Structure 1
Amino acid sequence: MNYELFLAKRIIAAKQYKSSISSPIIKIAILAIAVGMVVMMIAIATGFGLQQKIREKLSGFNGHIQITNFDNNNSEITLEPVSKNQEFYPEFKNVSDIKNVQVFATKGGIIRTETDFEGIIFKGVAKDYDWTFFEEYLVEGKIPDFYGEVSNDVLISKEISNRLNINLGDKFNILFVKENPSKAPWIRVVKVVGVYNSGFQEFDENFVIADIRHIQKMNRWTEDEVGGFEVLINDFKDIKIKSDEVYTQTASTLNSQSIMDKYPGIFEWISLFDNNIYLIIVIMILVAGINMITALLVLILERTQMIGILKALGSNNVSIRKVFLYNAAYLVLKGLFWGNLIGLTILFIQKYFGVITLNPETYYVSEAPVYLDFWYIILLNIGTLLLCLIMLIIPTLIISKIDPVKSIKFE
């Protein structure tokens, strides 16, 4: 029989244990572990959630990897066409884990209404386009259908809708300047069939999604000429590897660029979240560990007579230390239980109700996103428990200094 565990259970169940001097200190230690667990879970869930949402939105507007002409054009507007007759289109057979390859083209335009006008990026897509991203953020209407004849249907953002007072079902003019500015611009009358709201203001205030055939006609391209290709991959973690593979599998006249290379500033910024998360975890575990060390020291000093009796009966220091470590493990697990319960409750409330909002101009999202991965939660619990127990080995060393002759007192 494991008598160390038996003694630890008796100590925990004892009434005098709950009303002892160490009781308030133990409660504070449990509270520290619970609060630390809540803070760590929120830091991980919101930090990783924000990273994931920003990556999703960048890839939703640009794809994970873009293949375009090898030129010095660094703008969002495609100038020179690329032939659709490529080995990797419509399916990238030489690179694995590719979700979709879709064509696109962009052109600068000006929306003109009776009272306002505003510059936009007119992004043309075709029937091979993956609408998963825009379906998630669609707030009104439907996704345009570009399968039949040239369509005048467009998808605009809630930002453009509010600023220019253009609503679902409305028709409006878009002006496109010709290469010769002295000539009258092209005018396209389009109809709003859907409104999206991604919360990424930098893109929402600029992009109008439309039929690529409008751009092909204005640029005098053939049906086989497009602005470029967007490549979607299955797992974002592999983006660097897949970007290199895509680059090697494209012609020398073409250039492939991942969104990490296209927007390095944003990705450098969100990578800093990892450092913040690790720092919070270290601080919270240290605070919880120090509180537990204090509680365990008080508990040991409070039980010196019991320790002396156990030594007199033949127990060695290792066995007695196990008794107090079992006791400490119970307290840590109790703190973890309440921390998980409170933390998960807060995270689920935020995930489904979006109580905490953010400034989209700064964070690219309108509310704090939550990423829940139960493997992270399990590893966080196991890591916290093990680290706390390792730290608690130090205060149990005082047991070897207790003299049974001096500690046992008979009344």
Structure 2
Amino acid sequence: MKFPLYFSKKIAFSKDNKNNLSRIIVFIGRLSVALGVIVSLITVSTGLGSKTAIKERMADFSGHLSIKSKQSNNSYNSSPLSKEGFQLQKIKELPDVASTQQYVTASGILRNEHNFAGIIFKGIGPDFDHERFKKFLIAGNTPHVKEGFFNNGITISQKLASDLHLKIKDSIVAIFSKQDDKPLYRKFEVVGIYKTDIKMIDELYVIGGINHARKIQGLKNDEIGGVDVFLKNINDIDEDAPKIDQLVGYKNYTVKATDQYPQIMDFIAIFDTNIALIIIIMLVVVIINIVMVLLILIIERTNSIGMLKTLGASNGQIRAIFINYTLLIMIPGLVFGNLIGYSFLLLQKYFGIIKLNPENYYVEVVPVDLNPIYIMAISLGILLVSAVALILPSYLISKISPVKAIKYN
């Protein structure tokens, strides 16, 4: 073992240190490290957790990727997907693709004696992933559709149910219109109520049968207006989008869930700025406190520095001793900071202690991402940055004269 590290351990774990005048400063240094770790852990885990949770809510409703016809021109009324070059089977066989589901959309109005509301009727087919949608259901279920049959059941949002005073098994009239055609009236029965906490979805979307949507849009029985593609990992969305886009044909296009709601993505982007800002502030606080600890240790042990120089130790070796000593002092702070921070995050993950207003944050509970890589990176990062920050103040040791230090004692 090298001399500086050996000597650092000896003085760091010496029982005599418990009675030193510097023990209060050491305690403050450890406390600042622990608080820095706790705040950084919570900031990173909740920030990244929120980003992922919001993206997943968008994707679980409308697919990580959605294939549409270029004729739609961003309209809520589906145009039929072109079959030229469209290779749905190859898309399903891609290793990152979990599932696909077909749909047709039509814009309309729900109306009863209480109120009316503009809607997007999303007609789903037999391949609809009912299990994935269950997380959004607060009552009832989603309509089960069979090819060639008309299912009059619809699933509406809690917002629409509240505005229209609707509950399960209630009937409601929907009005649809196509350019230059008479309005089309359809009577539906409410079979389910959902809530995504995403305002742009909850205020508009109604889930119904694909055959009704085809009839409204004048599509043939084998035509579809779009395909939702679900990936195994939402973080692969940017990588997989170009691959899928090559399989949809030149008359169709692929849109990412993250691009369908740009205002939400702008909100999510704020998390990155907040995370970076808070971590920088915590690092500055930790560094200031640790540098103070180092300087006080140097002043307190001036006599020891003089003795070490007299015995032939170089300035570099003595500086290394005090830097190692200070970093060893930080370790209990890192350990307790990780224990406290991780315990709090576990409580939040499994018990949802802290709630949020979904109208502002798109989620009801603060989500947590317990990625061990982030936890290790925060602790190692604090140690590394502190080690670099201690180099400059440690040069004070070279200014100490061994003769004066021993004479001072």
Q: After the TM superposition, which of the residue ranges 238-247 and 198-207 deviates more from structure 2?
A: 238-247
d(CA) in 1 for partners of 2:362, 2:65 = 20
Task: Point out the more displaced range, 31-40 or 81-90.
Answer: 81-90
Map of 1:117 onto structure 2: 116
The equivalences for 1:226-375 within 5 A come to 226-375=224-373
The structural deviation recorded for 1:2 is: 4.6
* Per-residue deviation, 1:147: 4.1
Q: Answer yes or no: is 1:407 the counterpart of 2:405.
A: yes
Give per-residue Cα distances to partners, 1:234-283, cap 9 Å, x unaligned: 33333233222333332222222223333333323322322321222222
Structure 1 moving runs of 4+ over 6 Å: none
Asked if 2 retains the 8 angstrom alpha-carbon contact of 1:157 and 1:205, the reply is: yes
Tell me the SS of whatever aligns to 1:408.
helix
Q: What is the rounded CA distance, in whole Å, between the counterparts of 1:157 and 1:179 in structure 2?
A: 24
**1:44-64, Cα deviation, whole Å (9 max, x unpaired):** 112111211221122223222
Instruction: Decide whether aligned partners of structure 1 residues 226 and 72 sit closer, same or farther in structure 2, where only a CA change above 3 A counts.
Output: closer
Amino acid paired to 1:391: A
Given that 1:95 and 1:242 are in contact with CA atoms closer than 8 Å, whether structure 2 keeps it comes out as no
Supply the distance in 2 between the matched residues of 1:230 and 1:126 (Cα, whole angstroms). 11
Relative to structure 1, the CA distance from residue 152 to residue 69 in structure 2 (aligned partners, 3 Å threshold; closer, same or farther) is: same
- Paired amino acid for 1:101: T
Q: Structure 1 residues 108 and 174, CA, compared in 2 at 3 Å: closer, same or farther?
A: farther
Contact persistence 1:83–1:226 (CA under 8 A)? no
In structure 2, the residue matched to 1:36 is 36
Measure the CA separation in 2 of the matches of 1:118 and 1:262: 22
Q: Choose 100-109 or 32-41, whichever is displaced more.
A: 100-109
Residues 72, 207 of structure 1: alpha-carbon distance in 2 compared, 3 angstrom cutoff: closer
The 3 A distance-change label for structure 1 pair 344 and 94 is closer
Aligned-residue offset at 1:224: 0.9
- Any unmatched runs of 5+ in structure 2? none
- 1:60-117 Cα distance to aligned partner (Å, 9 max, x none): 2322222222136323x22422256864224416855222232111122333344333
With normalisation by structure 1, the TM-score equals: 0.89
Conservation of the 8 A alpha-carbon contact between 2:72 and 2:79: no
Identity of aligned residues (%): 36
Distance 2:260 2:136 in 1: 23
Shift in alpha-carbon separation, 1:218–1:405, aligned structure 2, 3 A: same
- Counterpart secondary structure, 1:246: helix
Q: Please tell me whether residue 107 in structure 1 is matched to residue 106 in structure 2.
A: yes
For the structure 1 residues 174 and 57, does the alpha-carbon distance in structure 2 shift closer, same or farther, using more than 3 Å as the test?
Answer: farther
Matched residue of 2:390: which SS? Answer: helix
Q: Does 1:137 align with 2:140?
A: no
Pair 1:59-2:59 in alignment: yes
Partner of 2:109, secondary structure, is strand
1:127 matched to which residue of 2? Answer: 126
Check the 8 A contact 1:84/1:226 in 2, yes or no. no
Q: Does the 8 Å contact 2:77/2:217 carry over to 1?
A: no
Structure 1 counterpart SS, 2:385: helix
> TM-score scaled to structure 2, two decimals?
0.90
CA distance in 1, matches of 2:406, 2:62: 75
SS at match of 1:208: strand
Write the distance in 1 (CA, Å) between the matches of 2:183 and 2:396: 90
Unaligned runs of 5+ in 1: none
How far apart, CA to CA, are the structure 2 residues paired with 1:284 and 1:184?
Answer: 61
- Deviation at 1:377? 1.0
Residue identity opposite 2:237 in structure 1: I
Selected match of 1:398 from 380, 392, 396:
396
In terms of mean alpha carbon deviation, does 65-74 or 381-390 score higher? 65-74
3-state SS in 1 of match to 2:369: coil
- CA RMSD in angstroms comes to 2.6
Query: Deviation of residue 226 (structure 1)?
Result: 1.5
